[in-house]
Structure 1
């Protein structure tokens, strides 16, 4: 793979931010799967995703990033559907 899709995901769907609470790994994985869906990419399995994050300098237990962009919108709407 010439350019890692994880690199592209981190650039398009997150913003590095050192303030506030760390982003949970479950949230980041949910965002990642939304991003993959939007880009027609088969997502990595959870364990492989965690390993790829570490290779990209993202510590799974201390994710100092904020979600952004269309994948964030998709993830939020999918995670918190409107109640009737």
Structure 2
């Protein structure tokens, strides 16, 4: 059986936890994939093809409040850190009492 780009991505970036109520919504899952592609210098596939490729790998979402959620999944690894760091809004330090650098550290620590 040949390895697929999506199969490699899933092995590198996702852990499955049956006992968790959490999961990844489609936008987060695709954003994680984009981070993985950028870090690995791979050409990403469009989001519609990504959805189909996940299904071919046996990864199917559930619908929750009109959103596609992939239950029991959590992000791990360098692509997860990259995604989180680059997804945290850049607030000015005057808008919050917490320095931006500390917010980013907390975000990265939450996935480590």
Same fold (TM over 0.5): yes
Structure 1 runs of 4+ off > 6 angstroms?
A: none
Q: Gaps spanning 5+ residues in structure 2: where?
A: 63-68, 93-112
Residue number in structure 2 paired with 1:15: 15
The reply to whether residue 28 of structure 1 matches residue 29 of structure 2 is yes
CA positional deviation for 1:17: 1.4
Structure 1 runs not aligned, ≥5 long = none
Shift of 1:60: 2.9
The two structures have a TM-score, normalised by structure 1, of 0.90
Deviations for 1:11-31, whole angstroms, at most 9, x for unmatched residues?
001101121222101100000
Report how far residue 65 of structure 1 moved.
1.0
Inter-partner Cα distance in structure 1 for 2:61 and 2:37: 19
Higher strand share: 2
How much does 1:32 deviate?
0.3
SS in 1 for 2:15: strand
- On the 8 A contact 1:53/1:60 being kept in 2, the answer is no
Instruction: Kindly tell me the number of residue pairs found equivalent between the two proteins.
Output: 83
Shift of 1:71: 0.2
In structure 2, the residue corresponding to 1:23 is in which secondary structure?
Answer: strand
Aligned alpha-carbon RMSD (Å)? 1.3
Structure number with higher relative contact order (C-alpha < 8 Å, ≥ 6 residues apart): 1
